[in-house]
Structures are given as structure tokens and as C-alpha cells.
Amino acid sequence: MTPIFALVDCNNFYASCEKLFRPDLAHTPVVVLSNNDGCVVARSKEAKALGIKMGIPIFKIKQQIQQHGIQVFSSNYSLYADMSDRVMRTLEDMAPRVEIYSIDEAFLDLTGIQSAVSLIDFGRQVKHTIDRWIGITVCVGIGPTKTLAKLANHAAKKYTATQGVVDLTDRKRQRKLLALTPVQDIWGVGRRLSARLQAMGIHTALDLADTSAKSIRQHFSVVLERTQRELNGEPCIQLEQIPPTKKQIICSRSFGARVTSRIQMGQALCEHVTRAAEKLRKEQQQAKLLTVFIRTSPYQNNTPQYSNALSAQLSRPSDDTRDLIQLSMSLLDQLWRDRYHYAKAGVVLSDFYDIGTYQAELFDQPSIHTNSRQLMNVVDTINHSGRGQVFFARQAVKKGWAMKREHLSPAYTTRWNGLIQVN
């Protein structure tokens, strides 16, 4: 049976989540900012119509914000994650196999459902259900490969006549749409590849589809070869229902205000390590390698720059926050240079092992923490209870460098005191 994929993608997801709880903003332009209130990461359709570009730093559009009364929100990830859960659970009820691809996108495996319902009807049903149950607008793209489903979704968003659902299983329709699509709009083709492809005279998706796979493999990598094959309807990328275990965990942040003291840097880093360790335990993994990096702002040309990273192995894989903090602090000691204005720091955990599988070497020291598992369990349980926080002595109580979030909306769906009131 030929496989059929659908891609369901929420429209302007973060902006839509914010609007959902603010009916008064139904027709107002809305933008959502990145962490630290840095850049625009989501725009409502009204904001897009005003020409607000994705990724632009907020300070560059101060004037437009004033002039057009654009509503600005700091990102509110607990709200978006909760709304995402609702959308994904609904999809899982409707389709036999679902791959959650990102916070606002999912691939569905629709292979075989055509005998029961037309693909386009199914797509409309999905769209209607999510709209009615959750209040989020989605577009649905359907095709014989993931890359074509992505492309169909792109078309569903772009051409309003489609009413948000495109079935691209027909070969003739595929070629028609490919001819209309610039090569840089293809999933897997970014700025760099697109420039190289253009230089070779490959301008549209159809041009790429009609170039031989062999020639693509010669000039580029196996990744683009797969894209070329997928554009021709040959599936190379499978549906992944179960997310593969992570290979690394990164926790980093830009500071709300520049950091100049070693003490503050240590506190900030401890926060990141603590979060990273929590994620690690949630993955049920232990890490053996830890990397710390600190840097000044690359945008400040007039001040001295410093950027450096250092890695070290733990004597044995660990998920104990204390081990990770200890190692990261000794790395920071080596990395730290006085007199710089630091803009960002972070930690990377890697080289993961399943708990209990590591073969200890002959002269390895046994862990000094005999109660590690129980203690970390208690810490995680308390911190997730919503009733209080336990933290490590190194973490700061007063955080001068903390992230800027000046336009945060309430936690409408995950905290009682964020519940919306109807008067």
C-alpha cells in the first residue's frame, strides 16, 4: 500500500494562543517575543500584514508598535505547551499513528484510510474539530512523502482558496505546485543550500525534483538527495511515533542585564545546570560529559569580546545535580576572565548512558553520594508539585541577571490564579 502522510500545522501558534484568551484582541496585530523579550518569534496575521518580519529585534520596530497599536507578549511557554498538548491529544484520537514533530506541528500516517473517507474530507474534519474543541486554527497538507506533505501544508497556508486543506497525492498536482515553489521554500533547503542550488540553475522545487539524484549526491550530501527523492514521491523519511532518546541536553540563556561578576556567573550557571539535570532525569539518562560556555554579546562591536567553552568528563555517568554543579563550577574557574560584560552562558550535557548500564573501570571511585537517587527524586517531586521549590545553595535567590519578561500573559490554563474571569 502506498503510504500517505499528513502534516497538521497550527497557524501563528504562539500568537493564536495569546489571542485565544483575549477576545478583545481578535482583530488586533499581535507579536510574541523570544526569551528575554529579544526578537519577534510569532506574529498574528494582522502583524504579518503590517510587514513585521520574523526574527526582528523588538527595539527595531518600536515605532511601528506605537503607530499601529501592536500588542506585544513575552513568550509564555507553559501556556503554549498546554495548548499544544490539547491539539496533539485530539490528533491522536483522530488518526491511528501520530508523530509530534514540534510544539505546533504533527505528522499523521493516513495510509489506508482512503477506503473509508476521502483524504480531503478527513483533512477538513481534523481542521474543524481542532477549531471547535480548542479554538486553534490549523492547516492540513497531505502527500505520499513527508516532504510533499510539508509542501502541501505550505500551499494550504498560502492559498486561501484551499480553505486550509491540500491533498497532494496526485502526481499532476504535485508537479504543478512544485513549479510554483521557489527552491528555498522546500523543507530541508535553507539559505546556504538555496544559494548554491540557484547558482547551478535550480530555482524551483520542480527544477530540484527533475535533477538526477546521483548528481545531487555528488554536489551535496545524502540529506538533499533524500529531499530530491521525496519530492518525486519516493518516501525516504519514516514516521517516528516514539521520540528517540536525546543525545544532548542544552540549557542556556542570555542575561536580562550583563553579568560582570564571577559570583553572579556562577549562580546563573547553577540555574542552567539544575534545569539540565532535571531534564536528564526525566529522560532517565545519565551523562558523562559536561560542557560549559560563556560569552559576551557578538553584537557589541565597541566592547572587548570573549567567548569560550570547556568540556570535562565526570568520573562516571551521573544525573545528580550536585555532581554536575561541582564539575561545572571547576570549568567556570578555568573559563572565567575578569572585566568582560557577559551576555550569555550555558551548559551542555552529552555522552548519555541508560541508568545502571555503565561499566565502571577498575580504578574508578565509587560515587560519594549514596542517597543520590532518593534525594533527586524528592527534589523533583517537590519542584513539580506546584507547592514550593527546593533549590541548591549555589543558586541565587535574588537574580539581577534574570530573563526579561515584561509583557507576560497570565498562565490561563495551568494556574488557578491565571484563570480567566467572566463578569
Task: Report the nearest approach of DNA to the CB of residue 395 (Å).
Answer: 16
Residue with Cβ nearer DNA (110 or 183): 183
Q: Give every CB contact of residue 111 below 8 A, 6+ residues apart in sequence.
A: 1, 2, 3, 4
* Contact of 231 with 152, CB cutoff 8 Å: no
Residues in 62-91 at the binding interface with DNA, rule: CB under 7 A: none
The CA-based dihedral angle spanning residues 204, 206, 212, 218, taken in that order and rounded to the nearest 10 degrees: 30
Residue with Cβ nearer DNA (7 or 134): 7
Candidates 131-139, 228-236, 297-305, 329-337; binding stretch for DNA (CB under 7 A): 297-305
Residue with Cβ nearer DNA (52 or 193): 193
Residue with Cβ nearer DNA (39 or 411): 39
Task: Report the nearest approach of DNA to the CB of residue 278 (Å).
Answer: 11
Residues in 174-203 at the binding interface with DNA, rule: CB under 7 A: 186-194
Q: List the beta bridge partners of residue 286.
A: 353
Candidates 84-92, 99-107, 109-117, 164-172; binding stretch for DNA (CB under 7 A): 99-107
Look up cell 504562539; give the residue.
14
Q: Where do the H-state alpha helices sit in 307-400?
A: 321-335, 372-384
The vertex-151 CA angle with 185 and 73, nearest 5°, equals: 70
339 binds DNA (CB under 7 A): no
CA distance 332 to 264: 12
CA distance 151 to 377: 45
Residue with Cβ nearer DNA (293 or 412): 293
> Which of 3, 11, 25, 41 is close enough to bind DNA by CB under 7 A?
41
DSSP single-letter state for residue 245: P
Residue span 358-397 as binding mask against DNA, x where in contact by CB under 7 A, dash where not: ----------------------------------------
**What cell was used for 306?**
570573549
> Which of 221, 284, 305, 334 is close enough to bind DNA by CB under 7 A?
221
Size of the site for DNA (CB under 7 A): 47
248 binds DNA (CB under 7 A): yes
Type of residue at 358: Y
Residues in 253-292 at the binding interface with DNA, rule: CB under 7 A: 253-254, 258, 275, 279
* Contact of 325 with 268, CB cutoff 8 Å: no
Candidates 64-72, 134-142, 220-228, 362-370; binding stretch for DNA (CB under 7 A): 220-228
Helix (H, G, I), strand (E, B) or coil at 48: helix
Residue span 101-130 as binding mask against DNA, x where in contact by CB under 7 A, dash where not: xxxxx-------------------------
Type of residue at 157: K
Closest by Cα among 235, 233, 269, 236 to 251: 269
Residue with Cβ nearer DNA (300 or 422): 300
The vertex-242 CA angle with 241 and 248, nearest 5°, equals: 130
DSSP 183-195: GGGSTT--HHHHH
**Which residues contribute to the site for DNA (CB under 7 A)?**
34-36, 38-39, 41, 55, 57, 59, 101-105, 150, 186-194, 221-223, 244, 246-254, 258, 275, 279, 297, 299-300, 343-344, 346, 403
